[in-house]
Structure 1
Amino acid sequence: MTIKASSTVATALASASDTPLTPANFQRLRQRWKATVTGKHMRVNSDDVYYALSKLSGTAEQYIANMQPSRVHIWEDLSPIHLSVNFRKSYERLRTIAQSYSIPGSIHYHDLNVQETVIQSLDFISSEIYNASVVQAKGENWWNFRIGAPLALVDIAILLYDDLTPRRRHDIGATVVKNIGSIGQRSLKGANRADICLALIGAGVITNEETEVSRGRWCLSDKEYDGENSIFELVQSGEGLYEGGSYLSHEIFPYSGGYGVQHYYSLSKAVNVLSKSPYYINGTELGVTFAAINSTFSPVMWRGMMMGHIRGRDIARKSEPDAFWGNLFLQSLLYFADTELVPRKHRRFFKSLARSIWESAPLPDLYGLNITQAFGMQKVLEERIPPAAPPIGTFATPMSDRIMHHRPEWAAALAMSSSRIGRYEALNHENLRPWYQGDGFLYVYTDKDPLHFSNDYWPTMDPYHTPGVTNGQNPQGPPAYKFTAHRDWAGGLDWRGTLGLAGLDALSTDKGSSAKKSWFFLLNSIIALGAGCAGLSGTEVHTTYESRNLPVSGSNFSINGEYQIMNPGWIKPWEKTHQQIDWAYLDSFGGYVFLDKEPVSFRHEKRKGKWTDINQYPDYLGFSDPIAREYLTIYRNHGIDPKDGRYAYALLPSASPEETRGFATTPPVNITHNTPRLQAIQFNNTVMANFWSGGTIGYLTAVTPCSITWGYNSVEDKYLTISVSDPTQKATRIVLFLNDPDIGGVVEKDDSIQLRWGRAGQTGSVTITINVEGTHGKTHRVSFERISWRGTLESLPWRPSAKETTTSTTATASHRVRPTATKKTFGNNATVTPAKVSHKPVSAKQRTGAVSKLAVNSSLETAKPSLGTLKPSLRTSKSSSGATELEAVTTIPKNTPSTVSH
């Protein structure tokens, strides 16, 4: 279906100047472009600038020293030059050398020998393979020809513009234009469109060709197809930004931390470069772009790093760790902030957010700022702009099957898949052991070990014991590409922006294992439930509670308070299964509580690997060296081909041993149901449930399957809030019956919700019908007055507007002292205070580095149940079952409320 021209495109077209570009315009474009590559020159008084300049010079010197020019290559490890990946990476190395040549203070600044070396290398590649007459060979990666090589080549040409002859400039521009080819494809979306447009603009800037600048600029808006694939708009399919905070690439892969960041980087660079020309991009077009910074990118960052669950196959690249993409996003913010056409309030916020990323990141220990980023941050610091508050609460992006949960001292990210979203991305011989990355992989990040997933995790982790996943232990074959999961249910919701619920109807790729899985994201813990765990692979089925990459310095571990031998440098691994166990504790993580008292297995082992085990695509760094890491794995063995396996456990990130023991002794959470039909918990005055086939809990009956959370915080809370979603994204409506004598009139509700009262005076009994058709799994909310509350209903709070999601559910951060670039220790973490939601907040780590006490006894998680008649069932009874397609159909135990058939 053809989409009509959007109002933003029409506005942009109307604002375009008919004035042709003058030589002065082109010169200004080149100056601005060069500044995006070298940083704006200013007085150096920043450790980050010194570090970045030193790193740049050192890397360039290493590249120069390792050159071995021949008839088939420039660098021996990038041979033969005729392979597209090798000439593309050769250009990228030459760009680094050209940067070092162009920046004052570098050891190569205006070194004529270096200049000649780069120019001769450009001539060699042009004469041998990459020029305006080249024809892409069959089987070669188109991206190297159309995007990767052009972007690097344009940067080099602008850096060396005054050193290149007019003929060379013309040839470079012609090469870029020829290899980019047509830009009118409807399939060209998102990051790829932004990259190609940027390269085309650059080719015009080099050759003073206004036609190419114009083509590149208007391709961003997709002028040719009336804005159908404009990168300034939300998309309905394919690559790009989606409603609700998702970013997809290659149609089915969540990628806000990879392609999404690249999209923003290239767009922000184009916006910055064009801002002083007649082809400027105005603020009206950038509305969607700026809104997504809060909804799409901030929730998937932790301590300046992009979380792994939205990075696709990039996790298998040693040269692009989590912080690399965090820094690239920071650079995008700085480009936007340095553009006068961007409204002042946005520019200030982008600088504030950039400072927040910079202050919270464990840099330069992992991956320091490059020179452009370092100069930009120096300017932000000199302007004394305070850091933005980090996100706090639960953030669901249902169109990508992802859930993020942020607390002051830790964060969690859940990767799921469905009939809509791919399990994993394995492409170009990258990410070769991905089998369970989308089957409920639960990433938990803590301040105790901030670099856990960056410490050579991916080549050494056990792919058959992925945290959060239930799977058979049968060997898997080579990964396939571009396929979705077998079932529809994958998603969840947030409750008042503070707590979260997720559910996954899991069936493995080979259909050898299945389970109904639920996660409950609370203030101080994550509760995980599983039921109907079944198998047909002829092997054991395991649910992995934890597989932790231990810090290099080792980590103490205890079971029921008894410390285990975990000294670093040990020789013999150990594995134990405990029949009766309540809790365990790991210094570098926090606590584990086993809520069903079933057998749990523990394994401590030394795992070896190489990055080439998971990535055989050429990388910048020689990463074939063997690596060894120590791991602690905790799992439930459901047996060989189980029919109705179950589990129930709690993760307490950043908790102390005393808090973990207290949680195990008196659990503040009541597991009311854990069956293949219904999984639910109750804490304080709140209930969270996944109704897999409808049912009843207390005062509420769900006629149709859904995810739902309802209740209130404490007796002082003025209203009862219900949040509900359709994780299958296939239903047309959800119907609920609420028969609660404490509910009065409606306070606020979404337009999708209809109410039918069953009693006079509109209190006590109500039928709630939610129209979910076409809402793509979003959360719907309704709020009622609580009759038992005796205050007034003036100014009742309601959920924040979409554009303020991250600010109204975030903490307030105080200034954090950042370590100098030469030190190898982490700075203290920001002190943050959650938004007031009538519960005792979790305090942040103090400057002494000690971990604060968790508010295990906070009112939200410990008050006695009061929502209907809920019987505690920490240990659910077994039920008779019959297996059909690996899904154990279980009758509800006698001690649970009856369900409503559907």
Structure 2
Amino acid sequence: MVTPAYPSTAWSVPVPHMSRRQVLSLLPAAGLLAVAAPARAAAGVDHARLLANTVSIFAGTPEVNARPEVAGKLAAIVKTARQRLTAMDQAGAGELFSGLALGTDDVNLRLAYQYLYEIALAARTPGGELDGDAAAQGRVADGLQWLHERYFGDQTAGYYGNWHNWEIGIPTHVSRTLALLPGQLRQERPGLTPAYIASMDAYLRSGKNGDVDLDSRFHTGANLADITANRILQGALTADDARVGKAISDQATVFATIDPYHLQHGNTDGYYPDGSFIQHHSVAYTGSYGRALLTRVVQTLKTLEGATSDAVSEGLPGVVYRWIADGFAPLIFEGWMMEIVKGRAVSRTNTGYADVGVIVEAIADLADHVEAAGALALKKYVKFLPAADTAAFVSPVSIARYAAIRADAAIPAADLNAPERSVAFNAMDRTVHRRPGYAFALARSSDRISKYEYMSGENLMPWFQGDGAYYLYLAGEDQREVFGVDYYTAVSPYRLAGITAPVEERRTVPELYGRLWYENPGHPLNFTSSSESQNTYVYFPRAGNAFSGGATLGAYGAAGMIQSDDAAYTAKQAGTLPDDFVAYRNARATKSWFMLDDEIVVLAAGVSGQGGRTAVTTVDSRIAAPGDAVALTGERWTGGAWQAGDTTPPRWLRYANGTRRTSVGYAFLTRQTVTAGLETVTRNRRVVRTTNPDTNVTKNVFTAAVAHAAGDAPALAYALLPNATEARLRDYARGPLTVLANDRRVQAIKHRTLGIVAANVFADGPRLVERLLIDGPASVIVRSGDRTTVALSDPTMKRDRVTVVLHGRSLKLDKGDEGVTVRRVPGGTMIQATTRHAHGRTFTVTLR
């Protein structure tokens, strides 16, 4: 069993991970027997305690609910329930709630069950005005019976629309509602609970024999956690030890760190050794599905507390602690969840602050389940983050716990991140670079990771979000005014910051096919709404390139990517897809990002629009409120002030928001015409998501872009300088940075002050960079000083080893990672890392 240490600063300690075998070793013998002998599983479960824990989680306790911090939550629970009861009173023919037409709309059916849950919750919330209201509870039971008889019990009539509603959404509300109903009421209706459990089992069509199937592509990650949490409750309701034990055993598998070279059940969804989280097998998803998984497993820990053997959850809280420290914390900037890990959820109107509020609730709860040092580190982080909106918390108990942590003067505020941190989430093709005044987040893609996610009318124009789109978050800003749904609404999808896109107009999926997906069930690939072909070619297509990754050396980072077509276009050219299926050709480029202290250096070479098209690289796009005092200044290479509309190449530009007292500088290292300017844009939020509120958004949009003529265009190099002054930008050309190489084979820079040489070698074979002979493909960072430190990785994830020779005097090994060897060779020192099955991990060695 892994026993993690809990430092006060989590970033300073190696990350412990759990294999599936280690996870299963944490379960009691009864839980392990569940797989082979369900009848003997989880003997000794205290079902009454399990149900009582569940009620406390969602409804609170008399002691907690008496606290003033919880009063707002109680009032909201009662207000919602009264609204639902009124809607029941006003229901028309064929309705349970007024306005919810049933029979063909699965979303409305799910909402009907949600409304029943909300009434049941209020009627079980201690201290609430409806607490113990037998009439309201009776109406809930009647409603459950009515819905089952008419709309849920008949399997031949159900399962239309989204599978998630039938297998997860509705069962979640039903299971919790039944748990909230008094035991006596359930006893008075002895057939209600068994009938629902039988129906929910029957609707679990992606499972096996009415139970979880760990080999199903639907039963992974957050989905698996949701399904098993529901089944734990269902087992408690019927005192079914076997059901509880099997569900616990199944859910425990989500704690196992994914080893991509030894997959269990073929599953790639979950947390990886580098902190990455993937859902849907290829989508970077920490900020949405990962957040949901975190919430669900923490709730399970609370549900099981005192109801099962301690061995059931022993060690698992430590795994979740590492998810937070190494998976979530790097992606949270001043209380905002970064866009690069939200998939289609970027198009929703809930904000990055609300996303983090959910995480904060889970962190506050987890602090009660980890060892003392870990609990303190989590509490410090809770105090470090901006105050969360507790109205969005699920549990009154969590609100009280959170308030107690925030009010405790003995707990100092402390980040889980180091002040300076560079994180390569190479398993999900993401990079995060943090400094006290800013954070830089980069989205890449590859033949392993999707270019984007579109689904169900969400994220309608996602085409370039994985093509090197980046987000520069500045300290002190309200990120709702800079990013979030309004960024994607106001900024053209062809002008997202950082991307290189062909000059063309694309159509959304609904525009192309008249529905939210491509339909062709008669084709050999069987295109239906949730088919694997739909996933592969419509919802979240992967790229075609292998090179996407990078290395980190301490708080510095290098990343690179070869931009390619997506899987849909490649398959269409091969004749695999139907004639009426529309696929778009991408632009091509070789790109690098070198992340230092005061600058992020961006190189692009081999840029081509393909097929005779021109292409555009967007240096940056930023939005501001129409009333903000925004200014754009610059200087020409030839001297003199640069102004918007100027066709003379600028040496630098500076975007400044005087209202928010923030700025970004752009230092151009190659002489090219830059089109830059400000415009007022008004668009409706439904351009990015069909179900968004019908709301127009007006923003002041700044865009700086470089056009590339058809064919191979000259290489481009520039630096982003967060919070730069004009004086800093004027001096930058005389600064310590040099571009050593910038073509399709090698991209490299040198920073004399930092003593850093960093390079991405995209081509096969040895390439000379400065005094480094790098055997590519590889990503390498070398820092010289009293000691020489070398960091190297394989961004293709296909090589057995990566080799670098440092020409000059021979150096000796001081310390190094396992798998790195150092030896003298004629004319220098050779460093070789065994990168086989390292999945893009950085190897570091220090020489003297």
TM-score, length of structure 2 as denominator length: 0.80
Q: Indicate which of 736, 744, 748 corresponds to 2:811.
A: 744
**CA offset at residue 467 of structure 1?**
0.8
Given that 1:173 and 1:204 are in contact with CA atoms closer than 8 Å, whether structure 2 keeps it comes out as no
CA distance in 2, matches of 1:505, 1:140: 38
**CA offset at residue 552 of structure 1?**
5.5
**CA offset at residue 97 of structure 1?**
4.1
Q: Indicate which of 402, 415, 421 corresponds to 1:389.
A: 415
User: Helix, strand or coil for the counterpart of 1:744?
Assistant: coil
Q: Indicate which of 522, 531, 534 corresponds to 2:596.
A: 522
Alignment partner, residue 695 of structure 2: 625
Alignment partner, residue 406 of structure 1: 434
**CA offset at residue 402 of structure 1?**
0.8
Task: Give a deviation string over 1:220-264, Cα, whole Å, max 9, x none.
Answer: 24xxxxxxx554443534211222212111111111222122222
Q: Which amino acid aligns with 1:701?
A: L
Superposition pairs of residues 344-423 of structure 1, within 5 angstroms: 344-359=372-387, 363=389, 371-383=396-408, 384-391=410-417, 392-423=420-451
Alignment partner, residue 493 of structure 1: 551
User: Helix, strand or coil for the counterpart of 1:776?
Assistant: coil
**CA offset at residue 322 of structure 1?**
2.1
Alignment partner, residue 854 of structure 1: none
For the pair 1:30 / 2:51, whether they are aligned, the reply is yes
Q: 1:737 to 1:559 in 2, by over 3 A?
A: same
Alignment partner, residue 724 of structure 2: 655
Given that 1:272 and 1:338 are in contact with CA atoms closer than 8 Å, whether structure 2 keeps it comes out as no
**CA offset at residue 93 of structure 1?**
3.7
Count of residues in correspondence between the two structures:
741
Q: Which amino acid aligns with 2:749?
A: I
CA distance in 2, matches of 1:445, 1:72: 50
**CA offset at residue 195 of structure 1?**
1.1
Superposition pairs of residues 507-518 of structure 1, within 5 angstroms: 507-509=564-566, 510-518=584-592
Q: Indicate which of 215, 234, 241 corresponds to 2:258.
A: 234
Given that 1:254 and 1:311 are in contact with CA atoms closer than 8 Å, whether structure 2 keeps it comes out as yes
**CA offset at residue 561 of structure 1?**
7.8
Q: Which amino acid aligns with 1:85?
A: V
**CA offset at residue 33 of structure 1?**
0.9
Given that 2:803 and 2:832 are in contact with CA atoms closer than 8 Å, whether structure 1 keeps it comes out as yes
Q: 1:355 to 1:439 in 2, by over 3 A?
A: same
Bigger proportion of residues as helix: 2
For the pair 1:210 / 2:241, whether they are aligned, the reply is yes
Alignment partner, residue 847 of structure 2: 784
Q: 1:43 to 1:421 in 2, by over 3 A?
A: closer
CA distance in 1, matches of 2:69, 2:717: 46
Q: Indicate which of 757, 763, 766 corresponds to 2:829.
A: 766
CA distance in 2, matches of 1:174, 1:464: 52
CA distance in 2, matches of 1:424, 1:50: 42
Given that 2:383 and 2:412 are in contact with CA atoms closer than 8 Å, whether structure 1 keeps it comes out as yes
Given that 2:489 and 2:685 are in contact with CA atoms closer than 8 Å, whether structure 1 keeps it comes out as yes
User: Helix, strand or coil for the counterpart of 2:315?
Assistant: coil
CA distance in 1, matches of 2:544, 2:31: 48
Q: Indicate which of 117, 141, 148 corresponds to 2:162.
A: 141
Q: 1:20 to 1:690 in 2, by over 3 A?
A: closer
Q: 1:559 to 1:333 in 2, by over 3 A?
A: same
**CA offset at residue 5 of structure 1?**
7.0
Alignment partner, residue 108 of structure 2: 86
Task: Give a deviation string over 1:522-543, Cα, whole Å, max 9, x none.
Answer: 1122111111111125543111
**CA offset at residue 394 of structure 1?**
0.4
CA distance in 2, matches of 1:111, 1:86: 26
**CA offset at residue 113 of structure 1?**
6.3
Given that 2:66 and 2:127 are in contact with CA atoms closer than 8 Å, whether structure 1 keeps it comes out as no
Task: Give a deviation string over 1:854-888, Cα, whole Å, max 9, x none.
Answer: xxxxxxxxxxxxxxxxxxxxxxxxxxxxxxxxxxx
Alignment partner, residue 103 of structure 1: 125
**CA offset at residue 732 of structure 1?**
2.1
For the pair 1:580 / 2:638, whether they are aligned, the reply is no
Alignment partner, residue 424 of structure 1: 452
Alignment partner, residue 306 of structure 2: 276
User: Helix, strand or coil for the counterpart of 2:812?
Assistant: strand
Q: Which amino acid aligns with 2:556?
A: L
**CA offset at residue 475 of structure 1?**
1.6
Alignment partner, residue 197 of structure 1: 228
Alignment partner, residue 250 of structure 1: 280
User: Helix, strand or coil for the counterpart of 1:426?
Assistant: coil
Q: Which amino acid aligns with 1:353?
A: Y
Q: Indicate which of 163, 176, 184 corresponds to 1:155.
A: 176
Given that 1:591 and 1:653 are in contact with CA atoms closer than 8 Å, whether structure 2 keeps it comes out as yes
Q: Which amino acid aligns with 2:759?
A: A
**CA offset at residue 545 of structure 1?**
1.3
Q: 1:554 to 1:64 in 2, by over 3 A?
A: farther
* Structure 2 alignment gaps of length 5 or more: 1-17, 33-39, 202-209, 261-266, 510-537, 567-583, 637-642
Q: Which amino acid aligns with 1:605?
A: E
CA distance in 1, matches of 2:609, 2:20: 52
For the pair 1:594 / 2:594, whether they are aligned, the reply is no
CA distance in 2, matches of 1:643, 1:766: 37
CA distance in 2, matches of 1:655, 1:450: 19
* Structure 1 alignment gaps of length 5 or more: 222-228, 563-573, 786-902
Q: 1:738 to 1:107 in 2, by over 3 A?
A: same
CA distance in 2, matches of 1:435, 1:19: 48
User: Helix, strand or coil for the counterpart of 1:592?
Assistant: strand
Superposition pairs of residues 548-587 of structure 1, within 5 angstroms: 548-551=622-625, 553-560=627-634, 576-581=645-650, 582-587=652-657
Q: 1:508 to 1:444 in 2, by over 3 A?
A: farther
Alignment partner, residue 9 of structure 1: 24
CA distance in 1, matches of 2:693, 2:82: 20
Task: Give a deviation string over 1:793-826, Cα, whole Å, max 9, x none.
Answer: xxxxxxxxxxxxxxxxxxxxxxxxxxxxxxxxxx
CA distance in 1, matches of 2:327, 2:492: 30
Q: Indicate which of 503, 515, 526 corresponds to 2:560.
A: 503
Q: 1:214 to 1:96 in 2, by over 3 A?
A: same
Alignment partner, residue 681 of structure 1: 749
Q: 1:84 to 1:380 in 2, by over 3 A?
A: same
CA distance in 2, matches of 1:399, 1:740: 35
Q: Which amino acid aligns with 1:580?
A: P
Q: Which amino acid aligns with 1:583?
A: L
Please, what is the CA RMSD of the aligned residues?
3.2
Given that 1:709 and 1:723 are in contact with CA atoms closer than 8 Å, whether structure 2 keeps it comes out as yes
Q: Which moved more, 1:585-594 or 1:725-734?
A: 585-594
Given that 1:527 and 1:649 are in contact with CA atoms closer than 8 Å, whether structure 2 keeps it comes out as yes
Alignment partner, residue 459 of structure 1: 489
User: Helix, strand or coil for the counterpart of 2:52?
Assistant: helix
Given that 1:518 and 1:528 are in contact with CA atoms closer than 8 Å, whether structure 2 keeps it comes out as yes
Given that 1:84 and 1:141 are in contact with CA atoms closer than 8 Å, whether structure 2 keeps it comes out as yes
Given that 1:605 and 1:631 are in contact with CA atoms closer than 8 Å, whether structure 2 keeps it comes out as yes
**CA offset at residue 65 of structure 1?**
5.3
Alignment partner, residue 36 of structure 2: none
Q: Which amino acid aligns with 2:789?
A: T
User: Helix, strand or coil for the counterpart of 2:170?
Assistant: helix
Superposition pairs of residues 689-838 of structure 1, within 5 angstroms: 689-693=759-763, 694-712=766-784, 717-741=785-809, 744-758=811-825, 765-785=828-848
Alignment partner, residue 500 of structure 2: 470
CA distance in 1, matches of 2:190, 2:812: 72
Q: 1:22 to 1:470 in 2, by over 3 A?
A: closer
Given that 2:30 and 2:43 are in contact with CA atoms closer than 8 Å, whether structure 1 keeps it comes out as no
Q: 1:309 to 1:231 in 2, by over 3 A?
A: same
CA distance in 2, matches of 1:238, 1:127: 39
CA distance in 1, matches of 2:290, 2:198: 25
